Every structure is written in structure tokens, then in C-alpha cells.
């Protein structure tokens, strides 16, 4: 989860970018005053989520966008933040590639849902951590703006008499101490329980009692206080058994109705089919009766022809049937030969025989059709009778019985619903009565809870003290015979003196010793720490025409030399960036990342902002 700073870039429209390249290990940026060292510190603080925008000298006018490339788990991430906007863009690439990818937009407000602060804390493995806010055990969320107090040390803070643990804001002392303890031990304050002030606790308790009383009264409406929850559950159980029985009855009744409905449908279909066959037979009988009448007409016609022939045979003594002449006046051309008449009569008899045979067959067929007609009529009438019986049974008995069963079932379900509502109300009342009892208990004085310490205790800092002592001795800090810790001041003691009692120069150097040692201790012991620290002017000296400090407060050159020599051997899995006036010893420059501002045009790099 460690992070190393790689590159800082300040851009502006039409401006040559101001670029600083950092490396793992020890980085030193030196130069006279007014070359941009303090602005570099401000830019780093701001682009890493600080709230204060960097102050810009005249030469930085027009520069608006800051870029900072980080190395995290071997990958490069670039953060862009404009001094004209509070938001930030994050690119998962190096600075040189940011224009080729789409950024993730984050809010510069630490309290926003997607904030730069949360993003950075997640990179550092510190997301979701809580700090103790006050003695009432209230907590606040860790933000980068709070964390920077221990990793970005300004020139003013490094010389301050108060411990570097404190931000200087009086109301933040408890959270400052809890941050130091969290960084040192890895244990945050997520699980502590806040303790209300007595007056607030009583007011809160009275408010809860009033609300609970109102809720109890509302839930008690139409609820029989004399009926217990157990009795209601027993009623519900009995009703559920009755419902199960009713459901069985309904199921059986429904099945019987469905069977009868199917049977009714079947007899109706049979009746309809029989009626159709009955109508067909009626139509056939009409046609057959018509044919029989035709047969009879033909027979009558043939009988008439035979009778006429007989008459013609005996017509010699009668008036002529053709011309009506008297017998004595018969003409030869009107007389029909008797043989011819006999032949005609014989033909008629043969034809009558055929028709009589057909007429007999037709009668037999008509009798058969009549039988079929009567049978279909009987089937129709029988099925119509059965249909009426089934329909009457369904309409007058079974369906009303089923509707009654369903009505009873609905009523039972309504009763169960009512019981469930009553049980729920009674359970709520019981729960609220318990809460009211608890609220009434909060009106009584509370025993004091065991104090949750916010600051580091002496027993917790031995490992860090050894690291500080090792570094201060390596720097040849004077009188380092014993390093101690003041729980009150949350600061180290050197020998018999508090760190705050040292001169300005030694305060700055011992502050650097504490901060750098804290970083090394945390990394070596796998404690939560970003992996880098930035210190502005830890050696408190000035160059050129700058006002000199009191010699009693300055750090000897030998101590400065050893300070640089020691840090030049810093491991590459961590990073220290120093902003200082004095140049480091010449012999260590090849072993460190050294950037020097000359403040001289044409001689090396003038300052942070190009000229």
C-alpha cells in the first residue's frame, strides 16, 4: 500500500511547464529564498487533497493545473487538480500519457461520496478508518487533510514548539493524538461507543420517552389489552387448522362440480347430436313421402291407361272416343287395333309391377327411418332430462354450497389477518415498552465509562523511540544520551529536556527526526503509512542576502553534514523529500536525487517556475 512520488508538474495556458522529478529514497531541493521551494510544498499539499490552494508569486501567474504522478504497487497514477476548481482528475497512467485516456473525476471535498481524499486513503490502505474526536468518544472519519499533518511538514510547523503530532487547531487536539496513535499502532477508533453529556442524554431520553408513549398509544387503539400474544397465536393456529379443512372441502366440492360440469357438457353434446340426427331423419322422411306420392300418381296413371284400353275394346257400340261420332258413323282411321290395345295394357301392367316393387322397398325404408327418428328423439329427450337434472343440482345446490365455503374461507383469512395485525401491534408495544424502560434508565446518572485513550502511551512508543535515537545519534545531535516520551505533550524528550525547550534549529531537526523515524518505523513494522514524507527547511538556515538566524538556534555544519550523509543511505522502498536552503555535501550528491535552484538567470535552474 506504499506510495512514492515520481513527478510534479505545474501547467498553464501558453506557459512552459514547471516540472520536478522525484525518485525513491532521498530527494533534496535547495536554493535561496523566493525560488519556489515553499510553493512546491503548497502544490504537493494541494494536489494531494489539501484544502488551501497554493499562493502564486508573480512569476507563476497563469499557471493553473497541477499534475502529480505517483507509483503505487509498481503502477503509475497521475492526479490532476486545478487551482480554479475544487475537483480532481485521476488517470491510471504517467503524466506523459494523460491526454490519451479518460480520467476519473473526484471531488476535492473530503465529505463528498467520491472524493480525492477517500481515493488516496484507499491507495494508502487507510480507507474507512475512524479517529477519536473528543472525550465523549465521538469519532470522525480519517481524511487526507488530517493525515497530511504527519507526512507533510511545513517550515512553520517544523520549527514550532508544540509537538509535530498536533495541527495547531485547539479543537482538533484529541483527533491529532488519536491519529498519531493509529499510525503508530495500526488500531483505529471505529469500535468505541460515544458517550453523551448528561444534559444531552436526559433531553434525548425524554424525547424518546415522549415519542414512544405516543407510539404505544397509537398502537393500542382497538387492541384488547386482556388478550395475550400467546392466546392470539393459539387462535391463529386453530383458524389455520379450520382453513386447511375448508380448503379440503372446497377442493372436493370444486372437483365434484367440475365432474358434473363435464357430465352436463357431455349429455348436452349428445342431445344436440341426437337433435341434429332427428332433423336429418325428418327431412329424409319428407323426401321419401314425396317419392311415395309420385309412385302412387304413376300407378293411378297406369290404371287409367289400362281402363282406357278396356274402353276402346268395347267402344264399337259407343260413340268414338277420338272424334265423338256415333257408332254407325265410325271412320276407319279412328279405329284402334285390339292387338295394339292389348299390348299397351300389358306394358302398363309390367310398369305397375316395377312401381309396386319400388313402392314396397320405399315403404320398408320409410319404416326404418321412422324407427331411427323415434330413437334419436328418445335419446334427445333423455339427455335433455339429464342435463336439466345436473344443471339444477349445480345451480341450486353445489355452486351455492361452494360459494358459501369460499365466503367462510375469506372470513377466516380476514380473521387471521386481523390477528396478525394485533400480534404485530402487541409485539411493537412490548418492544417499545422495553425501549421506554431503557430511556427511563438513561434519565438516571450513568457510571463513568473506562476512558479510551486518544494519545500514544509511553508503553506503546518504545520501538519508535529507539528509531528516533538511532537517527539523532547518526546525525550527531548533541546530548542524545536518552530519548524519552511525554504523554502530556505527545512529544519526545531529549536527555532531561523536552523537545519544545530546544532552540529553533534543534527543534526543527528533532521534529524531522521524529517524522522521518515514524515513517521508517511504520514501514519496517508494516504499520499504516503512505511511504513518503516531505519536510520544508528542517535545517533552518538561510543563504545569500537572507536574514541570518541567531547562532544559538542554528545547527552546526557537522550535524547538517551527518544529517545528509545518513539520509543518503535511505532505502528505496521509502521516500524523503527535503526543501532546504543549504546545499548537501558534494560527495553524497551522486547518491541522492538533487535539484538545485540558483536564482541566477543563465546559471543552472533558476527556480521552480521556468523563466
Rounded Cα–Cα distance for residues 452 and 133 (Å): 11
Same domain, 170 and 287: no
576 forms beta bridges with 26, 533
398 occurs within a structural domain = yes
Same domain, 236 and 371: yes
Same domain, 251 and 394: yes
Same domain, 275 and 394: yes
* pLDDT on residue 190: 77
Grid coordinates given for 605: 535552474
**Backbone torsions φ then ψ of 309, nearest 5 degrees:** -65, -45
- The CATH number that applies at residue 572 is 3.40.50.300
Mapping DSSP onto H, E and C, the string for 526-574 reads CCCCCCEEEEECCCCCCCCCCCCCCHHHCCCHHHHHHHHHHHCCCCCCC
604 occurs within a structural domain = no
Can you tell me whether residue 82 is helix, strand or coil?
Answer: strand
Question: What is the average pLDDT value for the chain, to the nearest integer?
Answer: 86
pLDDT digits (tens, 9 = 90+) for 419-464: 888 888 888 888 888 888 888 887 777 665 555 667 888 888 999 9
Same domain, 36 and 185: yes
* pLDDT on residue 328: 63
Q: Residue 494 in contact with residue 480, Cβ under 8 Å?
A: yes
pLDDT digits (tens, 9 = 90+) for 554-579: 678 899 999 999 999 999 999 999 99
Same domain, 27 and 170: yes
Q: Is 51 exposed, middle or buried (0-12, 13-18, 19+ CB in 10 A)?
A: middle
Domain hosting 526: range is: 3-194+452-596
Same domain, 420 and 383: yes
Same domain, 420 and 456: no
Residues 137-160 have a mean pLDDT of 89
Residues 387-396 have a mean pLDDT of 83
Rounded Cα–Cα distance for residues 397 and 375 (Å): 32
Same domain, 244 and 387: yes
Same domain, 301 and 368: yes
Same domain, 120 and 162: yes
pLDDT digits (tens, 9 = 90+) for 205-218: 888 888 888 888 88
- CB-based contacts of 608, cutoff 8 Å, min separation 6: 10, 18, 20, 35, 36, 37, 39, 40, 597
Rounded Cα–Cα distance for residues 164 and 401 (Å): 89
Overall domain count for the chain: 2
Residue 143 has pLDDT above 80, yes or no: yes
pLDDT digits (tens, 9 = 90+) for 175-232: 898 899 889 888 888 777 555 566 777 788 888 888 888 888 888 887 887 888 888 8
Amino acid at each position: 500500500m506504499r506510495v512514492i512520488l515520481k513527478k510534479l508538474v505545474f501547467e498553464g495556458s501558453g506557459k512552459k511547464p514547471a516540472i520536478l522529478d522525484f525518485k525513491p529514497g532521498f530527494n533534496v531541493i535547495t536554493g535561496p529564498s523566493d525560488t519556489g521551494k515553499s510553493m512546491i510544498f503548497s502544490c504537493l499539499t494541494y494536489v494531494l487533497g489539501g484544502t488551501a490552494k497554493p499562493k502564486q508569486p508573480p512569476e507563476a501567474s497563469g499557471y493553473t493545473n497541477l499534475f502529480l504522478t505517483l507509483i503505487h504497487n509498481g503502477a503509475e497514477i497521475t492526479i490532476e487538480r486545478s487551482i480554479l476548481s475544487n475537483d480532481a482528475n485521476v488517470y491510471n497512467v504517467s503524466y506523459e500519457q494523460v491526454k490519451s485516456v479518460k480520467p476519473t473525476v473526484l471531488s476535492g471535498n473530503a465529505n463528498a461520496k467520491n472524493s480525492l481524499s477517500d481515493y488516496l486513503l484507499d491507495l494508502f490502505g487507510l480507507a474507512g478508518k475512524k479517529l477519536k474526536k473528543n472525550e465523549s468518544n465521538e469519532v470522525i472519519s480519517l481524511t487526507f487533510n488530517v493525515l497530511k499533518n504527519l507526512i507533510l511538514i511545513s517550515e512553520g510547523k517544523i520549527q514550532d514548539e508544540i509537538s509535530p503530532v498536533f495541527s495547531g487547531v485547539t479543537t482538533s487536539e484529541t483527533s491529532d493524538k488519536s491519529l498519531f496513535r493509529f499510525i503508530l499502532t495500526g488500531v483505529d477508533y471505529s469500535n468505541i461507543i460515544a458517550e453523551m453529556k448528561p444534559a444531552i442524554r436526559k433531553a434525548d431520553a425524554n424525547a424518546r420517552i415522549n415519542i414512544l408513549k405516543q407510539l404505544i398509544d397509537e398502537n393500542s387503539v382497538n387492541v384488547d389489552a386482556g388478550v395475550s400474544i400467546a392466546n392470539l397465536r393459539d387462535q391463529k393456529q386453530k383458524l389455520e387448522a379450520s382453513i386447511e379443512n375448508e380448503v379440503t372441502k372446497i377442493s372436493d366440492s370444486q372437483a365434484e362440480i367440475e365432474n358434473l360440469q363435464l357430465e352436463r357438457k357431455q349429455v348436452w353434446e349428445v342431445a344436440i347430436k341426437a337433435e341434429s340426427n332427428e332433423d336429418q331423419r325428418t327431412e329424409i322422411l319428407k323426401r321419401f313421402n314425396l317419392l311415395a306420392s309420385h309412385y302412387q300418381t304413376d300407378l293411378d296413371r297406369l290404371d287409367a291407361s289400362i281402363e282406357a284400353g278396356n274402353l276402346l275394346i268395347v267402344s264399337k257400340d259407343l260413340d268414338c272416343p277420338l272424334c265423338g261420332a256415333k257408332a254407325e258413323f265410325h271412320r276407319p282411321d279412328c279405329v284402334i287395333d285390339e292387338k295394339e290395345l292389348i299390348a299397351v295394357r300389358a306394358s302398363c301392367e309390367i310398369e305397375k309391377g316395377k312401381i309396386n316393387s319400388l313402392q314396397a322397398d320405399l315403404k320398408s325404408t320409410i319404416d326404418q327411418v321412422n324407427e331411427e327418428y323415434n330413437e334419436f328423439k328418445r335419446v334427445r329427450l333423455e339427455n335433455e332430462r339429464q342435463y336439466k337434472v345436473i344443471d339444477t343440482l349445480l345451480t341450486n345446490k353445489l355452486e351455492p354450497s361452494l360459494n358459501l365455503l369460499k365466503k367462510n374461507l375469506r372470513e377466516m383469512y380476514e380473521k387471521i389477518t386481523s390477528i396478525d395485525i394485533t400480534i404485530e401491534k402487541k409485539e411493537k408495544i412490548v418492544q417499545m415498552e422495553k425501549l421506554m424502560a431503557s430511556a427511563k434508565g438513561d434519565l438516571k446518572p450513568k457510571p463513568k465509562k473506562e476512558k479510551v485513550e486518544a494519545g500514544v502511551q509511553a508503553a506503546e512508543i518504545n520501538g519508535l523511540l529507539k528509531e528516533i535515537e538511532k537517527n539523532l545519534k547518526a546525525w550527531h545531535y548533541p546530548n542524545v544520551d536518552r530519548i524519552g516520551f511525554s504523554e502530556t505533550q505527545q512529544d519526545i524528550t531529549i536527555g532531561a529536556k523536552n523537545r519544545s525547550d530546544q532552540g529553533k534549529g534543534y527543534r526543527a531537526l528533532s521534529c524531522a527526526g521524529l517524522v522521518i523515524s515514524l515513517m521508517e518505523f511504520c514501514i519496517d513494522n508494516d504499520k499504516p503509512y503512505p511511504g513518503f514524507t516531505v519536510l520544508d527547511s528542517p535545517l533552518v538556515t538561510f543563504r545569500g542576502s537572507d536574514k541570518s538566524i541567531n547562532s544559538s538556534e542554528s545547527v552546526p555544519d557537522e550535524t547538517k553534514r551527518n544529517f545528509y550523509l545518513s539520509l543518503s543511505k535511505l532505502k528505496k522502498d521509502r521516500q524523503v523529500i527535503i526543501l532546504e536552503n543549504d546545499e548537501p555535501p558534494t560527495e553524497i550528491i551522486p547518491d541522492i536525487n538533487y535539484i538545485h535552484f540558483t536564482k541566477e538567470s543563465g546559471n543552472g535552474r533558476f527556480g521552480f517556475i521556468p523563466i
